[in-house]
């Protein structure tokens, strides 16, 4: 490995002195401006390599008033105990990161003060990036609306809201809730629970789809079967155990996430009941694990990775000053073992 002449970082001025030109020429040479002679460019590029010169990004960002960074904020719901390590978020993050990489943008992941996202305005989330992607709305729809009026472009993954002034990308939650429930009804289940926090906009829409399906099948909605199950596995388990221990009987459940569904399956198994024989389960999202769990998970697919791409592309359009319409991605039911529709292979 060849030793670099200068180990310490040198400045553009120093390189200019070495090359016998001015900073301006160095800057233009390195950014391949047509105003610099081709020979000069090559010479400067070689000198830069030789002296181990790198453009100081901090100075550059400052000068250009931009960063090349996109912030991502996961609106983890505190009450629902949602974690960053939720596979849904992670897959979304993967889609976002991949797409950003293609556009040569970097990703800034914030430890958001979820309590009040307006505080983000002072933080690096807004100041250190060219745009912000919010994943989820939490219960801060109006705050998001307020932020949308700041000068940093943003897009939001979530549910369609009546008075929303930000650009939204999301799944078709009402349809998702409907097809999940409908599937269970068609399998003959009649006591179908709904697991999730209906205070969250997306879940509320799915819940409406759930009720619509029940109604169409002439099944009366039983409020005791709507349980505010947290997203976090351990806590979900507690909530489900409580339901299992109660006198309320059910033969199926529509869950708000696949993780919740997996937790439900484990809890139900431990209680001595069987999935799907005694209780059929439908998840939501179709995370990677859904098809590898035992039993495999029937679920409402959201193409999460693609959603990440759509979020990024929408944001980039906004950055270019274009107006961007909302996007609703279609929902699709993936039928696997946990809902009892497919015979288990082993038996």
Partner DNA sequence: ACTCAATGTACAATCGATTGTATCTGTGAG
Partner DNA sequence: CTCACAGATACAATCGATTGTACATTGAGT
The count of residues interacting with DNA (CB under 7 A) is: 31
- Rounded to an integer, what distance in angstroms lies between the CA atom of residue 334 and that of residue 346? 20
What does 4 bind: a second copy, DNA, none (CB cut-off 5 to 8 Å by kind)?
none
Which parts of 262-321 interact with a second copy (CB under 8 A)?
Answer: 262-263, 265-266, 269-270, 272, 274, 288-289, 292-296
Of 98 and 216, CB closest to a second copy: 98
Reported as type and span, the H/E element at residue 138 is none
**Cβ–Cβ < 8 Å for 262, 297:** yes
**Cβ–Cβ < 8 Å for 146, 118:** yes
Q: Which stretch binds DNA (CB under 7 A): 15-23, 78-86, 108-116, 290-298?
A: 15-23
Which parts of 131-150 interact with a second copy (CB under 8 A)?
Answer: 146
- Rounded to an integer, what distance in angstroms lies between the CA atom of residue 215 and that of residue 218? 5
- Rounded to an integer, what distance in angstroms lies between the CA atom of residue 299 and that of residue 281? 8
Whole-number minimum distance, CB 328 to a second copy, in Å? 24
What does 23 bind: a second copy, DNA, none (CB cut-off 5 to 8 Å by kind)?
DNA
User: 107 in helix, strand or coil?
Assistant: strand
Q: Where are the alpha helices (DSSP H) in 112-246?
A: 124-127, 141-148, 173-186, 201-216, 233-245
**Cβ–Cβ < 8 Å for 188, 168:** no
Which parts of 44-73 interact with DNA (CB under 7 A)?
Answer: 54-56, 58-60, 62-65
Q: Does 49 bind a second copy (CB under 8 A)?
A: no
- Rounded to an integer, what distance in angstroms lies between the CA atom of residue 6 and that of residue 103? 32
What does 295 bind: a second copy, DNA, none (CB cut-off 5 to 8 Å by kind)?
a second copy
In the chain the first and final C-alpha atoms are separated, in Å, by: 61
Residues lying near a second copy in the complex (CB under 8 A): 1, 8-9, 54, 56-59, 61-62, 65, 67-69, 83-85, 87, 90-91, 93-94, 97-98, 100-101, 106-111, 121-125, 127-128, 146, 151, 233, 237, 262-263, 265-266, 269-270, 272, 274, 288-289, 292-296, 345-346
């Amino acid at each position: 490995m060849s030793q670099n002449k200068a180990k310490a970082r040198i400045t553009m001025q120093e390189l200019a002195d070495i090359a016998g030109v001015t900073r301006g020429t160095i800057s233009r040479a390195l950014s391949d401006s047509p105003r610099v002679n081709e020979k000069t460019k090559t010479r400067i590029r070689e000198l830069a390599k030789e002296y181990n010169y790198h453009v100081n990004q901090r100075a550059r960002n400052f000068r250009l008033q931009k960063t090349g960074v996109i912030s991502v904020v996961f609106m983890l719901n505190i009450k629902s105990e949602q974690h960053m390590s939720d596979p849904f978020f992670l897959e979304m993050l993967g889609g976002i990161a991949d797409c950003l990489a293609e556009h040569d943008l970097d990703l800034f992941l914030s430890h958001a003060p979820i309590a009040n996202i307006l505080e983000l305005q002072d933080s690096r989330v807004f100041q250190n990036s060219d745009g912000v992607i919010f994943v989820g709305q939490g219960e801060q729809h109006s705050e998001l609306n307020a932020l949308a009026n700041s000068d940093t472009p943003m897009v939001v993954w979530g549910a369609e809201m009546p008075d929303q002034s930000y650009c939204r990308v999301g799944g078709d939650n009402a349809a998702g809730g409907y097809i999940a429930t409908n599937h269970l009804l068609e399998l003959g289940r009649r006591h179908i629970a709904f697991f999730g926090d209906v205070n969250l906009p997306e879940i509320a829409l799915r819940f409406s789809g759930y009720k619509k399906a029940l109604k169409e099948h002439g099944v009366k909605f039983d409020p005791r079967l709507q349980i505010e199950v947290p997203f976090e596995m351990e806590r979900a388990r507690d909530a489900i155990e409580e339901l299992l221990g109660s006198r309320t009987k059910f033969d199926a459940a529509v869950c708000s996430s696949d993780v919740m569904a997996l937790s439900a399956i484990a809890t139900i198994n431990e209680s001595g009941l069987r999935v799907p024989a005694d209780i059929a389960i439908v998840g939501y999202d179709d995370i990677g694990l859904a098809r590898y769990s035992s039993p495999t998970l029937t679920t409402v697919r959201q193409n999460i990775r693609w959603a990440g791409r759509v979020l990024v592309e929408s944001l980039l359009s906004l950055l270019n000053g274009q107006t961007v319409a909302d996007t609703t991605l279609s929902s699709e039911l993936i039928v696997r073992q946990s809902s009892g529709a497919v015979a288990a292979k082993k038996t």
